[in-house]
Amino acid sequence: MYQPIILGSILLVTLYILKRMRSPKLNMPPLVRYKYPIIGHTYDFLTNGEEFFKQCRKEYGDIFSLYVWGEVRTFIGKEHFQEVLSRDDSFVFGKQVDIDSIFKHNIKFTNRPKVIKDYVLNKLKLYTERMQESLNVATQKYIGDCDEPNEESQYEEVIVTFSELTIDTTKLLRIPPILNFIYPGLQAFINNSILSLGIYNPAINHQKVLIKHLKNQFCKRLQEKVKYGDSWKRPDDFIQNIMEEESFDPNNINYEEIADKLCLLIVVSVHTTANSCTHAIMNLASRPEYMQELYEEQLEVQKEADENGILPFEALNNMKKLDSFIKESFRLSEHVATLPHVTSKDYTFSNELQVPKDHSIYLYVDDIYLDESLQGPNPQSFEPFRHLNTNASASKVSKNYVVFGGGKHACPGRQLAVNEIKFLHNIILKYNLRTESGKIEGPKMIGTIKLPSNAGIIFEKRK
Ligand code: HEM
């Protein structure tokens, strides 16, 4: 009868000893004092992120550690964060989710920046123009003249996959990692085992949808190419690129692999951009007083449009005020602490503090964004034209702006993302926006995380 209790106690003691043995003899960053055993700083982290971090920074300096969810995490402020971004031999970005266990067929897709360059950046101009056309259609369809209901398209399930894949893929990550209180990393180990053993795959239904539509597209294109011969108009997109790769064999198409490639592109690009765009729209609706100035700029830009209302790629460079607005929105919508990294070996910071291999590192980005010397006067206030004439656009990474990371691994899709958000152009020209409450609707805070507010927005068609 007592056996399970005895065995359980032995297991807990063993785990405790193992945990102690992991603590290395390094000159570690100061661990902020905590009141509650076992949960450590988890409660403050979840309930009072902003203020708690400010207090820790004030008392402990630029680098400090917190005991959160059963692990010691080190947070790096404005003086040392560049070391994390530039030393990719020591810090590896975002290892919390084992993405390769979800997209198992994606074995060849290892050099992600190169893939983005080959499939996306080499066609930035083409895709920016195409995005503009699609966004014009979508704005008309989903917002329209603010009077008619909208219809479903024949690709509705693909659209659902694009919009929900990331949320579904990261489902396990959103479970509070309480198992880490027993042993650091236990929750991630179990999550990753569930994924790699194939017990559960949150992306499976989306993969099936993509495979179904990919099959239709491949089949249609192969037939049309034969039927129309030289007069066939080659579609210029991701699918066509894949079909023209040397290794592509029309008689033996690996649909799973292609769908997984597409899934990975969706995961890195769609949710990030949509989230930032939602923040920008909410910030715009919250501050109708800036609408007129932005409207006038966009009216001027619109003069460059062709007879179908489509802007040339170069016109995006003339949206200076909108660019500054977007950058300000990015700046004040970033989480308090973000850009999770893991150390790939022991590392000594330039101030002599040391962190061991396999240690969790986060950037305390509020320390960068709320610093007057880095951001100018009133860094905490939203000033839409703060970045005008600074010669640093919304897609440019710099020492006071790390929305897209930095160093060799800075986000390779950042220009595409900013270009896409700049097609707020269309919204600004068509509508007046305001929040339903008539107040400024700031981001929704969950601990240190800032989510776009889900407050209502009123779109009013311009007369
Ligand atoms: C507003 C939208 C976006 C934000 C905020 C964002 C942010 C980031 C950040 C912070 C990183 C990590 C950088 C680092 O390690 O220093 C990153 C990496 C990456 N992003 Fe983005 N991103 C966005 C849109 C996109 C888009 C549209 C694409 C693709 C078309 C993309 C593709 C990637 C890839 C492939 C990486 C990995 C780079 C590497 O490992 O070297 N991102 N992104």
The residue type at 85:
L
Q: How remote is the CA of residue 182 from the centroid of ligand 1, in Å?
A: 33
Burial of residue 152 (CB within 10 Å: 0-12, 13-18, 19+) is exposed
- Cα gap 332→203, rounded to integer Å: 31
C-alpha R_g of the chain: 25
Residue 353: CB atoms within 10 Å: 21
> Which of 241, 404, 408 to mutate to test ligand 1, by most ligand atoms within 8 A of the CB atom?
404
CATH class, domain 24-461, is mainly alpha
Q: Annotation-wise, does 411 bind a ligand?
A: yes
Q: Supply the DSSP symbol for 354.
A: E
φ/ψ (deg, to 5) at 205: -65, -35
- Beta carbons within 8 Å of 424's beta carbon, 6+ residues apart: 277, 280, 281, 284, 322, 326
- Cα gap 361→128, rounded to integer Å: 35
Dihedral angle at the C-alpha atoms of 120, 122, 125, 127, nearest 10 degrees? -20
- Cα gap 310→313, rounded to integer Å: 9
Q: Are 412 and 256 in contact (CB under 8 A)?
A: no
Q: Is 109 in the pocket of ligand 1 (CB under 6 A)?
A: no
Q: Is 429 in the pocket of ligand 1 (CB under 6 A)?
A: no
Q: Are 55 and 34 in contact (CB under 8 A)?
A: no
> Which of 115, 117, 272 to mutate to test ligand 1, by most ligand atoms within 8 A of the CB atom?
272
DSSP state string for 128-141: HHHHHHHHHHHHHH
- Cα gap 196→75, rounded to integer Å: 30
- The neighbouring-strand residues paired with 31 are 65
Q: How remote is the CA of residue 149 from the centroid of ligand 1, in Å?
A: 35
Q: Is 412 in the pocket of ligand 1 (CB under 6 A)?
A: yes
Task: Give kind and range of the element (H or E) at residue 73.
Answer: strand 71-76
Task: Work out whether strand 71-76 and strand 360-363 pair parallel, antiparallel, or are unpaired.
Answer: parallel
Q: Is 342 in the pocket of ligand 1 (CB under 6 A)?
A: no
pLDDT in tens, the chain (463 residues): 677 777 776 766 676 565 555 556 899 999 999 988 889 999 999 998 899 999 999 999 999 999 999 999 999 999 999 999 999 999 998 766 667 777 777 655 567 777 788 888 888 888 888 888 888 888 888 887 776 655 556 678 999 999 999 999 888 888 888 898 888 888 988 988 888 888 888 899 999 999 999 999 999 999 999 999 999 999 999 999 999 988 899 999 999 999 998 998 999 999 999 999 999 999 999 999 999 999 999 999 999 999 988 999 999 999 999 999 999 999 999 999 999 999 999 999 999 999 999 999 999 999 999 999 999 999 999 999 999 989 999 999 999 999 999 998 899 999 999 999 999 999 999 999 999 999 999 999 988 999 999 999 999 999 8
Q: How remote is the CA of residue 273 from the centroid of ligand 1, in Å?
A: 10
Q: How remote is the CA of residue 44 from the centroid of ligand 1, in Å?
A: 29
Residue 336: CB atoms within 10 Å: 24
Dihedral angle at the C-alpha atoms of 215, 216, 221, 227, nearest 10 degrees? 120
Q: Is 72 in the pocket of ligand 1 (CB under 6 A)?
A: no
> Which of 118, 411, 419, 424 to mutate to test ligand 1, by most ligand atoms within 8 A of the CB atom?
411
Check residue 365 and give its pLDDT: 97
Q: Are 187 and 174 in contact (CB under 8 A)?
A: no
- Cα gap 331→354, rounded to integer Å: 29
The residue ranges of every structural domain in the chain are 24-461
Q: Is 413 in the pocket of ligand 1 (CB under 6 A)?
A: yes
Q: Which tokens sit at 332?
A: 């004040």
Kindly indicate whether the ipTM for this predicted assembly is greater than 0.85, answering yes or no: yes
Q: Is 166 in the pocket of ligand 1 (CB under 6 A)?
A: no
Measure Cα distances from 225 to 213, 215, 219, 248, 358 in Å: 18, 15, 10, 15, 52
Q: How remote is the CA of residue 446 from the centroid of ligand 1, in Å?
A: 23
